[in-house]
Amino acid sequence: MSALSIQGVSRIFETGQGQRTQALLPVDFNVHDNDFVTILGPSGCGKSTLLRIVAGLERPSTGRVMLDGQPVDGPGADRGMVFQSYTLFPWLTVAQNIRFGLRERGMAEAAQKERCDYFMAKVGLRGFEHHFPKQLSGGMQQRTAIARALANDPKILLLDEPFGALDNQTRVLMQELLLGIWESARKTVLFVTHDIDEAIFMANRVAVFSARPGRIKSDIAVNLPHPRH
């Protein structure tokens, strides 16, 4: 059974005065456990829309998303999301941001702290517990966003152009960091990008979207040995 099964998922937006935008044509797509899949396509082809539907932040117009055989109906702790623009709470410190979901779930303080320390170390943020997001560089803010997503122990990580706003050098560091996490934590990853090099470098499978309205045009197993294997 596939970890994630996208079945005939499409999306039409009603944009007022009887106008409609077809953001996504029906997509059928299966992702297996521990796969690192990139979704590649030009801007506006519906990549974010698909990811948001998988995250449960938006509903499909047709079709459904199944996660371990259960239909997705809204957001859940089984999916961790990281966006391009840093969506940290600006009034909370790094540690408070990372602990946010754990606290919401009612986890005991000591356990929250332990988990937070573990993931801060994992993303290279040790020592930045009490910093606020605006005191950090873009790369460090994305490290925080990744640590926050991982702290909730999701089964699937959903990343929407997470490194798109970073300079080249920082982007390469962050790509390496994410690949290391993927390898050691064995997460299933769905990673959206419009950058061909990034799509091929990161993934063991690349789904290529056609230009809008999006539909998967080809689905390629990257048969070059993965740089880490």
Strand order in the sheet with 4-16: 19-31, 4-16, 62-67, 70-71
The window from 103-111, 170-178, 183-191, 216-224 that contacts ligand ADP (CB under 6 A) reads 170-178
Residue type, 135: Q
Per the listing, tokens 């769905």 go with: 190
**Binding mask of the shown chain, residues 20 to 59, with x at each position contacting ligand ADP by CB under 6 A:** -x-x-----------------x-xxxxxxx----------
Q: Specify the DSSP element, H or E, that contains 79.
A: strand 79-82
Applying CB under 6 A, the site for ligand ADP has a residue count of 22
Stretch near ligand ADP under the rule CB under 6 A, chosen from 2-10, 25-33, 139-147, 183-191: 139-147
Residue 137 dihedral angles phi and psi, to the nearest 5°: -70, 165
Asked if residue 53 lies in contact with residue 220, where contact means CB atoms within 8 angstroms, the answer is no
| Measured distance CA(4)–CA(67) in Å, rounded | 5
CB of 175 to ligand ADP, least distance (A): 10
Region from 15-23, 65-73, 83-91, 200-208 binding ligand ADP, contact rule CB under 6 A:
15-23
- State which of residues 2, 7, 13, 226 lies at the interface with ligand ADP (CB under 6 A): 13
Would you say 144 and 133 are in contact if contact means Cβ atoms under 8 Å apart?
yes
Minimum distance, C-beta of residue 46 to ligand ADP, in the bound complex (Å): 4
Asked if residue 140 binds ligand ADP (CB under 6 A), the reply is: yes
Residue 92: both structure tokens together:
């909370």
Shortest-Cβ-distance residue relative to ligand ADP: 139
For residue 228, what are the contacts with CB-CB under 8 A and spacing of at least 6?
Answer: 179, 180, 183
Q: Which of 133, 139, 154, 162 binds ligand ADP (CB under 6 A)?
A: 139
Backbone angles phi, psi at 104, to 5 degrees: -55, -35
Q: How far is the CB of 200 from ligand ADP (least distance, A)?
A: 18
Q: Looking at 99-107, 111-119, 168-176, 218-226, which segment touches ligand ADP (CB under 6 A)?
A: 168-176
The set of residues, in sequence order, having a beta carbon less than 8 Å from that of 199 and lying 6+ positions away, is: 38, 39, 40, 191, 193, 206
Contact residues toward ligand ADP (CB under 6 A) are 13, 15, 21, 23, 41, 43-49, 135-137, 139-140, 143, 170, 173-174, 212
